[in-house]
Chain A
Amino acid sequence: MTRTPDHLSTTLAALCDPTRRAILARLATGQATVTELAAPFAMSMPAVSRHLKVLEHAGLITRGRQAQWRPCRITAAPLKDVADWVAHYRRFWTESFDRLDDYLREVQKKGKQHGHGKRHDK
């Protein structure tokens, strides 16, 4: 993975806002201008611009350089990092619980072998 942990944190932070997620969902269908992005939200242009700045800082979008127009485009790499992290976390617990399942069987078998004196108590 080429991106640093701080990038991942910044990405997560940027994604923790419903408006910004909605903006990303819109951009997933194609590039758009600030005016177009602002249209569905009851929000001022400066407020939308602030959201765009957060997304841009997180590397989730890039913006064109034409002075007036500056179309926004979504960037996939940081989202993939997040998906990877979620997958990693899910795998950690899923595998731990597989082991826990085996361990519980083992402990209960031992408990039976030792009659009522259940070894796992205390």
Chain B
Amino acid sequence: MTSEEQELVLTRVFDAPRELVFKVWTDPKHVAQWWGPHGFTNPVCELDLRPGGAIRIHMRGPDGTVYPMTGVYQEIVEPERIVFTSAALDEKGHPMFEVLTTVTFAELGGKTKQILRARVIKKTAQAAPYLAGMEAGWTQSLERLAAYVATGSKE
């Protein structure tokens, strides 16, 4: 199984130099401007940019609901790589499990190719024993299986 099959992978090319892309990912002033879905604002955005440093972002949805998000930086290599863990929250803001996210930035003729990889690393509470041997998070084959089983109901 390749790593692509085990992770959620999103690739984007931005028409901006790599140093700038890295900066808008790591400076809270900038992050607050783009983090979250359309229509969201980030009234709280605190980034302690060092390994072990905390990420604390409160996203506010268009209806005023606040979604807190917390994380911890694992690795920071300016300007090419950021690794952090974050708690995946349910609709009520309760942590469900932890996600390890790795974002890499590569120069591409004045533009920047960004690759985000995310995988689940652990459950936060009761289901922990089942995760002892957990080797992977999302798989494309899993998504296909889900789509196959829940025929027509997957968006």
Contacts and interface: CB of A to CB of B under 8 A. Distances in A.
Given A89-B8, A104-B14, A105-B15, A6 B21 contact: no
Question: Which of A9, A80, A84 gathers most chain B CB within 10 Å?
Answer: A9
B133 interface: yes
Contact of A92 (B20, B34, B36, B145): B36
B45 to A, nearest CB: 13
Contacts of B91: 1
A90 interface: yes
A79 interface: yes
A24 B149 CA distance: 10
Interface string B19-59: 01101100000100111111000000000000000000000
A76 to B, nearest CB: 5
B12 A54 contact: no
Nearest to B38: A95
A108 B20 contact: yes
Nearest to A8: B96
Contact of A82 (B24, B99, B124, B142): B142
A61 B119 CA distance: 24
Interface residues of A, number: 49
Interface string B110-140: 0000101010100111110011011111110
B14 A100 contact: yes
Nearest to B90: A5
A96 B37 CA distance: 5
B150 A83 contact: yes
Contacts of A96: 34-37
A25 B146 CA distance: 10
B37 A95 contact: yes
Given A6-B125, A9-B97, A79 B146 contact: yes
A70 interface: no
A15 interface: yes
Question: Which of B34, B123, B133, B145 gathers most chain A CB within 10 Å?
Answer: B34
Contacts of A93: 10, 116, 118
Interface of A: 1, 5-6, 8-10, 12-18, 21, 24-25, 28, 54, 74, 76-77, 79-80, 82-87, 89-105, 107-108, 120
Given A28-B149, A107-B20, 9 more contacts: A6-B125, A9-B96, A13-B131, A17-B133, A18-B135, A79-B150, A86-B138, A99-B35, A101-B12
Q: 3 closest pairs, A vs B, by CB?
A: A13-B130, A5-B90, A83-B146
